Amino acid sequence: MEFKAIPSPCFVLEEQLLVRNLELMEFVQKEAGISIIVALKGFAFYDSFPLVAKYLKGGTASSLNEAKLVYKKLKSKPHTYCATYVPSEFKQLLKCSSHLTFNSLSQWNTWSKQALKSKKCKHFGLRVNPGYSEIETALYDPASEQSRLGIPRNKFGDQLPEGINGLHFHALCENNSFTLEKVLDSFSALYDPFIKQVEWVNMGGGHLMTKEGYDILHLIQVLKAFKEKYPNLKEIILEPGSAVGWQTGVLKSTVLDIVDNGGKTTAMLDVSFTCHMPDCLEMPYKPKVRVGEQENGKYKYTFGWIRAVWQEILWMDFLLVKN
Ligand SMILES: Cc1ncc(COP(=O)(O)O)c(C=O)c1O
């Protein structure tokens, strides 16, 4: 399709680039003998899910609607982790999920009776704080002492609660395999007796294995070493989101007006940071702007938004065309 024919605004995904990422992930799965599932938090481009399903082993959901999307579009049962389960949704999640993970012992105590009666879902896990991360933005650091995400070691107790057969941590954010290795050292040091008792470990997301320069062979080596250390584990799961869609496309936008007030020139766009690139406000990321025909960048504009159109959450390059 010619670029000009693509509507604006539009998230444009290039299929061959996605396939390239998926092939690499498939290689990791096969070589390391692990499962990779897509995290909808980081990649929710559901029209591409039939393609994703050919390479990855399903998806992870953090809400009922995400769980339904995994079921419908990836044609598999989601691994579900919600920081807290909403009473009106729990029954449905239990029915459609293959794995359910709980963020605290109180959440497990609340739902365990109902969960253990289920004939459909048999994999129940606890999210733990692995005690190490290299995430500098405090808001996103799930391994800090005060983190609300995951049970810290001193609250875990000495016994694995009855009915729990898996452990989960998520402590990476666009990190490499060397950081994963350090997280695993800390996770093993803190939870070793429990890892020996469970059947599965989910190592969360943040594994940016499709980024140029990522040492894939080292990742495979780290995963294999963990498997050898814990031969009791039937399944090791990674759930990256960003790595799936990493550099697979652009967000096309159009300059609809130029406003020059008080010495400040603002290009008025048909996209907004709030709706199309929320991570640019929270994290904050800075989009790479590719200015269509004006590639050599003579523009010096502030970008202003006009209207909110979509709510798709996806991080991508930002491609701007002159109206
Ligand atoms: C529990 C969990 N799993 C997976 C992910 C996906 O992370 P990423 O998109 O960085 O790979 C996230 C992101 O916040 C998460 O919180």
The residue whose CA has the least distance to atom 12 of ligand 1 is: 205
Domain containing residue 264: 250-322
Rounded CA separation 151/124 (Å): 15
Residue 9, domain member (yes or no):
no
The residue whose CA has the least distance to atom 7 of ligand 1 is: 205
pLDDT of residue 140: 79
Token pair 């500098």 is found at: 136
**Are 158 and 275 contained in the same domain?**
no
**Are 171 and 297 contained in the same domain?**
no
Question: From the alpha carbon of 172, which atom of ligand 1 is closest?
Answer: 10
Residue 192, domain member (yes or no):
yes
Question: Which residue ranges have their beta carbon within 6 Å of ligand 1?
Answer: 39, 41-42, 81, 170, 173, 204-206, 239-243
pLDDT of residue 321: 54
- Ligand 1 pocket test, candidate residues 25, 41, 66, 80, most atoms within 8 A of CB: 41
Q: Which helix (H) or strand (E) holds 279?
A: helix 279-282
Interval between CA 242 and ligand 1 midpoint (Å): 8
- Choosing from 226, 245, 264, the residue where a domain stops is 245
Interval between CA 39 and ligand 1 midpoint (Å): 6
**Are 96 and 163 contained in the same domain?**
yes
Rounded CA separation 151/130 (Å): 9
- Choosing from 187, 211, 245, the residue where a domain stops is 245
**Are 53 and 137 contained in the same domain?**
yes
Q: Which two tokens stand for residue 49?
A: 């899910």
Interval between CA 57 and ligand 1 midpoint (Å): 16
Question: From the alpha carbon of 81, which atom of ligand 1 is closest?
Answer: 1
- Judge contact between 75 and 53, C-beta under 8 A: yes
The per-residue b/e assignment along 240-250, b for 16 or more CB within 10 angstroms, e otherwise, is bbbbbbbbbbb
Rounded CA separation 20/43 (Å): 16
Q: Which helix (H) or strand (E) holds 92?
A: helix 87-96
**Are 198 and 300 contained in the same domain?**
no
Interval between CA 79 and ligand 1 midpoint (Å): 13
Per-residue pLDDT of the chain (323 residues; tens, 9 = 90+): 777 788 888 988 999 999 999 999 999 999 999 999 999 999 999 999 999 999 999 999 999 999 999 999 999 999 999 999 999 999 999 999 999 999 999 999 999 999 999 999 999 999 999 999 998 877 778 999 889 999 999 999 999 999 999 999 999 999 999 999 999 999 999 999 999 999 999 999 999 999 999 999 999 999 999 999 999 999 999 999 999 999 998 888 888 888 888 888 887 888 888 888 888 887 777 777 766 545 455 556 666 654 333 223 233 345 555 44
Residue 3, domain member (yes or no):
no
- Ligand 1 pocket test, candidate residues 80, 203, 239, most atoms within 8 A of CB: 239
Question: From the alpha carbon of 242, which atom of ligand 1 is closest?
Answer: 9
Rounded CA separation 83/168 (Å): 12
Rounded CA separation 59/77 (Å): 8
Interval between CA 169 and ligand 1 midpoint (Å): 10
Rounded CA separation 238/306 (Å): 39
**Are 218 and 69 contained in the same domain?**
yes
Interval between CA 110 and ligand 1 midpoint (Å): 25
Within 10 Å of residue 50's Cβ, how many Cβ atoms?
11
Domain total of the chain:
2
Residue 7, domain member (yes or no):
no
Q: What is the DSSP string of 245-265?
A: HTTSEEEEEEEEEEEEETTEE
Global confidence as pTM: 0.90
The full length of the chain comes to 323
- Tell me the Cα Rg of the chain: 21
Q: What is the DSSP string of 49-75?
A: HHHHHHHS--EEESSHHHHHHIIIII-
pLDDT of residue 177: 98
pLDDT of residue 199: 98
Q: Which two tokens stand for residue 109?
A: 């105590």
Interval between CA 156 and ligand 1 midpoint (Å): 23
Q: What is the DSSP string of 135-172?
A: --SGGG-TTSTT-SSSB-HHHH-SSPPTT--EEE----
**Are 79 and 109 contained in the same domain?**
yes
Interval between CA 192 and ligand 1 midpoint (Å): 24
